[in-house]
Amino acid sequence: MTEKSKLETQTLKTDWPEALAHCELCPRRCGVNRAAGETGYCRSGPTAQIFRYGAHQGEEPPLTGARGSGAVFFSRCTLRCRYCQNYPWSQQGEGEIYSVAELAGIFRELYAAGCHNWNLVSPTPWLPMISAALAQVRAAGLDLPVVYNTSGFERLETLRALENLVDVYLTDLRYTGEDAAHRGSDAAEYVKTARAALREMWRQVGPLRVNAEGLAVRGVITRVLILPGLAAEACASLEWLAREIGPAATVSVMAQYTPAHRARDSSPWNRAITRAEYDAVARTVERLGFTEGWIQDFGAGRSSGLAGFKMAPVKKQARLQRCSTAGRPAA
Ligand code: SF4
């Protein structure tokens, strides 16, 4: 592939500003004219908004490496999770406005800092700007794997437009029931949407591949967050993953749930997960034969918030490992 054709395929096919003039980037499909100041469900505006960025030490080991994952935490979100730890910027809109040129500058800074990848955290409303900024830095000869760090609530057409732009999908499977998805994230259609999205991600990039340094270069990592009272749904998500994708899927089981935001007001969201819930999910991972990935230590969320991984192998013959805490907070 020539450099020019590579750049062409790495630019989001959803035209910009067309995508903003009638925004249907995510499954909400609001159809609002963001370019003219209208806002939809996520309340995103016409210009990229970012809460913070930097070398992040709290992602899964092949993403964090020795020098950190180059994380860009975008403001706004297409879900409204009652337990979101990021709610000041995901739901309340904290963050600064960045032009495409300034966003390209952030990518250059992360590259210069030695980060192992560009890690786009909750990027969906900002994809046209991200695509344009990445094209700018790549035209200047800089390149890193692009990590698409998402709740899994993605529209298929948008994902298809990302083909050849994204190298690693870091996605969630949160629920298996519409009721829980509605109560937890205001998205009853989450289950079928996230499952279809994961199939598309797998079609594009397949199993996780790492380089000689153990750093992720391509593939899908699926996070399964254990929610209070919903361990059975986490187990069912793992069963779906084993059935649909198979044990080659890389899983990251997250046990860090901490009541935050509106979770403090209602049961069962207002408590940590129990040891029994944790053990049920851990046993399911082993029973289903997954060998690639990580399981957070029980109590990770209560101890140290968003610290990095501290791993210990579970089985000698497998790469599945336990760890202390993980990156993107329960969003
Ligand atoms: S990205 Fe925001 S405005 Fe666009 S469809 Fe989704 S929720 Fe609506």
Go through the domains of the chain in sequence order and give each one's CATH number. Answer: 3-323 (3.20.20.70)
Taking the CA of residue 124 as reference, the ligand 1 atom at the shortest distance is 1
When pLDDT is averaged across residues 146-160 and rounded to a whole number, the result is 97
H or E stretch covering 313 = strand 312-313
| Residue 123 beta carbon below 6 angstroms from any ligand 1 atom | no
Going by alpha carbons, the residue nearest to atom 2 of ligand 1 is: 42
Confidence tier at 198 by pLDDT (50, 70, 90)? very high
* Mean pLDDT value of segment 264-271: 92
Among protein residues, the one with the nearest Cα to ligand 1's atom 1 is 125
How many CB atoms within 10 Å of residue 73? Answer: 22
**Atom 3 (ligand 1): residue with closest C-alpha?**
40
Asked if residue 193 has its Cβ within 6 Å of ligand 1, the reply is no
Q: Is the pLDDT of residue 284 over 50?
A: yes
Structure token pair of residue 204: 């594009």
Assess whether the C-beta atom of 80 lies below 6 angstroms from ligand 1: no
Query: Strand pairing of 321-323 and 293-296?
Result: parallel
Q: What pLDDT does 8 receive?
A: 42
| Total residues belonging to the chain | 331
pLDDT for position 247: 87
Asked if residue 244 has pLDDT above 90, the reply is yes
Ligand 1 and 22: CB distance under 6 A: no
**Residue in 12, 28, 156 to alter for ligand 1 test, most ligand atoms within 8 A of Cβ:** 28
Q: Ligand 1 in contact with 24 (CB < 6 A)?
A: yes
Compute the 3-state secondary structure of the chain and give helix, strand, coil in percent, each to the nearest 5.
Answer: 35, 20, 45
Rounded distance from Cα 277 to ligand 1 centre (Å): 34
Question: Which residue is it, tokens 């790495």?
Answer: 10
pTM confidence score? 0.90
Mutate to test the pocket of ligand 1, among 14, 34, 44, 49 (most ligand atoms within 8 A of CB): 44
Phi, psi (rounded to 5 degrees) for 49: -125, 130
Q: By three-state DSSP, how is residue 225 classified?
A: strand
C-alpha 44 – ligand 1 centre gap (Å): 7
Asked if the model's pLDDT at residue 88 lies above 70, the reply is yes
Q: Does 44 contact ligand 1 (Cβ within 6 A)?
A: yes
Atom of ligand 1 nearest to the CA of 41: 7
Regarding the beta carbon of 28 and ligand 1, being less than 6 Å apart is answered yes
Question: Of the ranges 10-14, 88-92, 219-223, 294-298, which one carries the lowest mean pLDDT score?
Answer: 10-14
Residue 316 has what pLDDT? 26
pLDDT at 22 over 50: yes
Choice between 330 and 107, residue whose per-residue pLDDT is larger: 107
Burial code (b: 16+ CB inside 10 Å, e: under 16) for 7-41 equals eeebbbbbebeebbbebbbbbbebebbbbeebebb
Inform me whether the pLDDT recorded for 283 exceeds 80. Answer: yes
Atom of ligand 1 nearest to the CA of 40: 3
